Amino acid sequence: GLHADTTADMQRYERLRAQGVPFVLVDGFSPKVQAPFISPDDRAAMTLAVTHLVSLGHTRIGLALGPKRFVPVQRKIEGFVRAVQDQLGLDAAAVEAELIQHSLYTLEGGQAAASALIDRGCTAVVCASDMMALGAIRAARQRGLEVPRDVSVVGFDDSPLIAFTDPPLTTVRKPVPAMGQAAVRTLLEEVGGTPAPHSEFVFMPELVVRGSTASAPNVLRAS
The CATH number of whichever domain residue 54 belongs to comes to 3.40.50.2300
9 lies in the same domain as 101: no
Q: Tally Cβ neighbours within 10 Å of residue 93.
A: 9
Overall average pLDDT of the 72-99 stretch: 96
Q: Above 60 in pLDDT, residue 222?
A: no
Enter the pTM of the model. 0.93
User: How does residue 219 score in pLDDT terms, banded at 50, 70 and 90?
Assistant: low
d(CA 4, CA 174): 17
User: How does residue 48 score in pLDDT terms, banded at 50, 70 and 90?
Assistant: very high
User: Which structural domain range is residue 77 located in?
Assistant: 42-173+207-216
**Mean pLDDT, all residues of the chain:** 94
145 lies in the same domain as 190: no
Q: How many domains does the chain have?
A: 2
Cα angle, residue 46 at apex, residues 88 and 147 outer, rounded to 5° = 80
* pLDDT at site 72: 97
Do the Cβ atoms of 136 and 111 come closer than 8 Å? Answer: yes
151 located within any domain: yes
At 155-212, the pLDDT tens digits run: 999 999 998 999 999 999 999 999 999 999 999 998 998 877 778 999 999 999 999 9
At 125-144, the pLDDT tens digits run: 999 999 999 999 999 999 99
221 located within any domain: no
